[in-house]
Amino acid sequence: MSDHDTPSRPVPTMRDIAAAAAVSQSTVSRVLSGVPTAVPIAPQTRQRVLQTARELGYRPNPLARGLRGAATNLIGAVVRDFSDPFFAGAIEALVVESMGHGYNVVLGHAPGRTGKGAVSLTTVLETRHTDAVVLLGAMQEHPKLLTELRSSVVPVVALWPGIGPHDFPTVDADDRAGIRAGLSHLESLGHRRIAFVNAELPGNYRVRVEAYADFMRERFGAVPPGYVEQCPNTLAGGDAALRRLLAHPEPPTAVATSTDLVAVGVLHAAHSLGATVPDRLSVVGFDDILIAAHTVPALTTLRMPIAEIVGHAVAQAVGLTREPAGSPRRTGHKVFAPALVVRDSTAPLMATTPGV
């Protein structure tokens, strides 16, 4: 039972490097920290230390580093909804990008319905001493979280933040341009009776339905009454929304949606009701989630540039980390344009279609 003190210590510390390289521990720190402007180090000393560290397989201890007040190299990610396949891709991108910058990701959960999650979440972020926080999705349902983040010194970047105003730098898709591209596509196919299924997420996606309304007013003078359906951002929500739309006295010949998730639900309902897509009904989604290319039929949608958005956000978060603590909070807003991806769920308006 005398293995309390392991002879070969598993992980070497700076002291070990210092002893092996015949320098002081502080010199080791200065070399490995890589802060060039601090204090000059003789080139040969630097080389000797680096060499020794490499030989001993040294790894800095982020706990000690963070305790002293330096960086923890941790990014806190607050995710609104894990079950949304859209965010799954975003998380993957976030992890990869962060690791590329030498950061790790701690997860927080901010579920939409109950506010309970947000409380413990904030605790986490404050307590873990993350270097930065990335918000994935709209957080309007968690005002307490936002308040605490605002008064915190930790830099925050918000992704897909929903409607403003925002106190943090945001990175988002150009929802308006995306919706207009999808609607223009439908219009060019001859469609006039275009409805919109809007996934209602408090504070989010409102831009998309507004873009739809503006487009319709601009091109056709008005938004057809009863052509906008609100629904939860779920498959079942899209399903139910289409059923309501098809019960309309003048049912639409095309449907645009604010998310692929509801679009898939729309496809499902259309199939159940015998409204063949795309022959009798054209459908346009938004996001281009993984499954969109393999629905029945394959979904025409707007591709969300997730990699660009997340990459930009991480780069910005890391950049903000390096700024001095006292600097004023930045609130830049970066926008990326979605790209129309035409697949099989849209087709020219058939001449036989009644009306218009």
Instruction: Summarize as ranges the residues that interact with a copy of itself (CB under 8 A).
Output: 1, 3, 10-11, 59-64, 66-67, 72, 74, 82-83, 85, 87-89, 91-92, 95-96, 99, 104-109, 117, 120, 123-124, 126-129, 153, 235-236, 239, 264-265, 267-268, 271, 290-291, 293-298, 326
Which residue from 224, 228, 223 is spatially nearest to 206, judged by alpha carbons? 228
Shortest distance, position 119 Cβ to DNA, whole Å? 19
Which residue from 136, 81, 147, 137 is spatially nearest to 114, judged by alpha carbons? 81
The single-letter DSSP state of residue 3 is: T
Q: Which of 47, 51, 70, 104 binds DNA (CB under 7 A)?
A: 70
14 interacts with, out of a copy of itself, DNA, none, CB within 5 to 8 A per kind: DNA
Distance CA 350, CA 174 (A): 31
Residue 69 three-state SS:
coil
Cα-flanking dihedrals φ and ψ of residue 113, to 5°? -75, -75
Shortest distance, position 77 Cβ to a copy of itself, whole Å? 8
Tell whether residue 321 is a contact of DNA (CB under 7 A).
Answer: no
Tell whether residue 51 is a contact of DNA (CB under 7 A).
Answer: no
Distance CA 253, CA 281 (A): 5
Shortest distance, position 322 Cβ to DNA, whole Å? 12
The beta strand positions in 92-227, using DSSP E, are 104-109, 132-136, 156-159, 170-173, 194-199
Cα-flanking dihedrals φ and ψ of residue 106, to 5°? -105, 140
82 interacts with, out of a copy of itself, DNA, none, CB within 5 to 8 A per kind: a copy of itself
Shortest distance, position 87 Cβ to a copy of itself, whole Å? 8
Which region, judged by CB under 7 A, interacts with DNA, from 66-74, 160-168, 195-203, 214-222? 66-74
Cα angle, residue 65 at apex, residues 59 and 70 outer, rounded to 5°: 135
What character string, x for contact with DNA (CB under 7 A) and - otherwise, covers 23-42?
A: xxxxx-xx-xx-x--xxxxx
HEC per residue, 241-279 = HHHHHHCCCCCCCEEEECCHHHHHHHHHHHHHHCCCCCC
340 interacts with, out of a copy of itself, DNA, none, CB within 5 to 8 A per kind: none
Residues that bind DNA (CB under 7 A): 11, 13-15, 22-27, 29-30, 32-33, 35, 38-42, 44-46, 58-61, 64-65, 67-70
